[in-house]
């Protein structure tokens, strides 16, 4: 069949309109459960991953979402449910929250993963088109991506439904970015390649352009955990985070050595990071000039500044005197 040019264009526009209508319907159904999903992910344990599990075309969407979340300071992992029953379930032990995607909600391969999550107290967020499905009934939070019909002419191939699943995952990430104070400066930390990776600083450069990724521990970390984190990193210090992931304090390698000398190398296990951290470390905003930072470091006789977002108070990175000197910015 040879369609006219107008018929081809009309078919494309009709497909657009059907998918747009499905997205509008999904948007209009957003409510309390979406809010709960954002809070559940944002409040997961420090260091835990976000799990993504889905089969087939939904699996391709899940892999894309896993990559997007990981690039936005939300470390994630994708697990293929077909492999999960053959050993890959163990990968989900590092996750508090598992996002499962299935339009029907009755995908056979998801059942052992759901059972594993329930036995190991893992929270399930379902992006699903049927609340009364096996996945829908067994999820902690149900995000409805149901569609009236697929845009495909046969009404069978995933078109509107796959678009809605992808967009639901994307808007969940966008809301999380806002909730967690994510910024373009943080994004640059995870994209060092290309133009960003070849950055050359000068005296007009800003702090976020030369900061490095910090090593972080929670305020309740033991002294041994602090020591191990400093050793594993390469900047000689560690940032202490409050429960809400804002700046709590700062511990340098020198602080760690002082503590060890004080206790004659036998530091009690009861001592935590909050007991010996510097509670008000010197900071700099991401949009302040690097020369301002080097001036502060010279004046205070220190070698690092914590780069902190001025509004959210989230830690963005560390500005090191050593790095500034290497770039010739003093």
pLDDT for 264-309, tens place per residue?
A: 878 888 999 999 999 999 999 988 888 899 999 999 999 999 999 8
Supply the pLDDT for residue 141: 98
Q: What is the mean pLDDT of residues 181-199?
A: 56
Of 329, 330, 278, residue with least CA distance to 306: 278
Pair 170, 201 in one domain: no
Pair 200, 58 in one domain: no
Give the neighbor-by-neighbor strand order of the sheet with 283-284.
283-284, 304-308, 315-320
pLDDT digits (tens, 9 = 90+) for 221-237: 999 999 999 988 888 89
Pair 210, 226 in one domain: yes
Q: What is the mean pLDDT of residues 315-324?
A: 88
- Read off the CATH number of the domain in which 237 is found: 3.10.580.10
Residues 6 or more apart whose Cβ sits within 8 Å of residue 155 = 149
Q: What is the mean pLDDT of residues 89-101?
A: 93
Supply the pLDDT for residue 122: 96
The Cα 208–Cα 59 span in angstroms is 35
Supply the pLDDT for residue 181: 78
Pair 193, 282 in one domain: yes
Pair 200, 94 in one domain: no
Pair 211, 269 in one domain: yes
Of 100, 163, 158, residue with least CA distance to 133: 100
Last residue of a domain, one of 122, 154, 180: 180
- Asked if residue 183 has pLDDT above 90, the reply is no
- Asked if residue 33 has pLDDT above 90, the reply is yes
pLDDT digits (tens, 9 = 90+) for 121-169: 999 999 999 999 999 999 999 999 999 989 988 888 899 999 999 999 9
Per-chain mean pLDDT for the chain: 88
- Read off the CATH number of the domain in which 77 is found: 3.40.50.10490
Pair 282, 257 in one domain: yes
Supply the pLDDT for residue 196: 41
Low-confidence winner among 82-86, 97-101, 186-190, 295-299 (lowest mean pLDDT): 186-190
Pair 161, 251 in one domain: no
Q: What is the mean pLDDT of residues 38-55?
A: 91
Pair 14, 104 in one domain: yes
The domain of 63 spans: 5-180
- Asked if residue 26 has pLDDT above 80, the reply is yes
Pair 273, 149 in one domain: no
The Cα 267–Cα 285 span in angstroms is 35
Supply the pLDDT for residue 322: 86
- Asked if residue 107 has pLDDT above 50, the reply is yes
Last residue of a domain, one of 133, 159, 180: 180
The Cα 5–Cα 192 span in angstroms is 45
Pair 24, 170 in one domain: yes
- Asked if residue 111 has pLDDT above 90, the reply is yes
Tally of domains in the chain: 2
Supply the pLDDT for residue 259: 92
In the chain, pLDDT over 90 holds for what percent of residues?
Answer: 58
The whole-model pTM stands at 0.61
Last residue of a domain, one of 180, 211, 231: 180
Cβ burial 197-214 (10 Å sphere, 16+ → b, else e): eeeebeeebbbbbbbbeb
Pair 174, 203 in one domain: no
């Amino acid at each position: 069949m040879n369609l006219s040019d107008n018929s081809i264009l009309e078919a494309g526009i009709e497909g657009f309109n059907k998918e747009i209508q499905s997205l509008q319907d999904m948007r209009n159904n957003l409510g309390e459960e979406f809010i709960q999903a954002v809070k559940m992910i944002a409040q997961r344990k420090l260091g835990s991953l976000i799990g993504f599990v889905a089969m087939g075309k939904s699996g391709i969407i899940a892999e894309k979402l896993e990559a997007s979340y990981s690039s936005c300071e939300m470390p994630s992992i994708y697990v293929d449910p077909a492999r999960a029953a053959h050993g890959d379930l163990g990968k989900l032990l590092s996750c508090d929250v598992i996002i499962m995607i299935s339009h029907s909600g009755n995908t056979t391969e998801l059942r052992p993963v759901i059972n594993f999550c329930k036995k190991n107290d893992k929270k399930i967020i379902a992006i699903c088109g049927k609340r009364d499905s096996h996945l829908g009934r067994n999820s902690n939070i149900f995000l409805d991506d149901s569609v009236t019909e697929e845009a495909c002419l046969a009404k069978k191939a995933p078109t509107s439904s796959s678009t809605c699943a992808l967009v639901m995952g994307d808007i969940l990430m966008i809301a999380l970015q806002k909730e967690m104070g994510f910024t373009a400066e943080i994004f640059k930390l995870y994209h060092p390649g290309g133009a960003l990776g070849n950055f050359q600083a000068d005296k007009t450069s800003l702090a976020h352009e030369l900061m490095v990724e910090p090593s972080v521990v929670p305020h309740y970390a033991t002294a041994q955990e602090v020591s191990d984190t400093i050793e594993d990193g390469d900047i000689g210090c560690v940032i202490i985070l409050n429960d809400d992931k804002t700046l709590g304090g700062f511990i340098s390698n020198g602080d760690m050595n002082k503590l060890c000398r004080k206790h004659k190398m036998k530091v009690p296990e009861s001592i935590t990071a909050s007991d010996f951290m510097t509670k008000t470390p010197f900071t700099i905003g991401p949009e302040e000039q690097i020369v301002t930072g080097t001036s502060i470091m010279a004046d205070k006789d220190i070698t690092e500044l914590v780069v902190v977002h001025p509004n959210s108070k989230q830690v963005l990175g560390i500005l090191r005197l050593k790095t500034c000197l290497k770039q010739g910015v003093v």
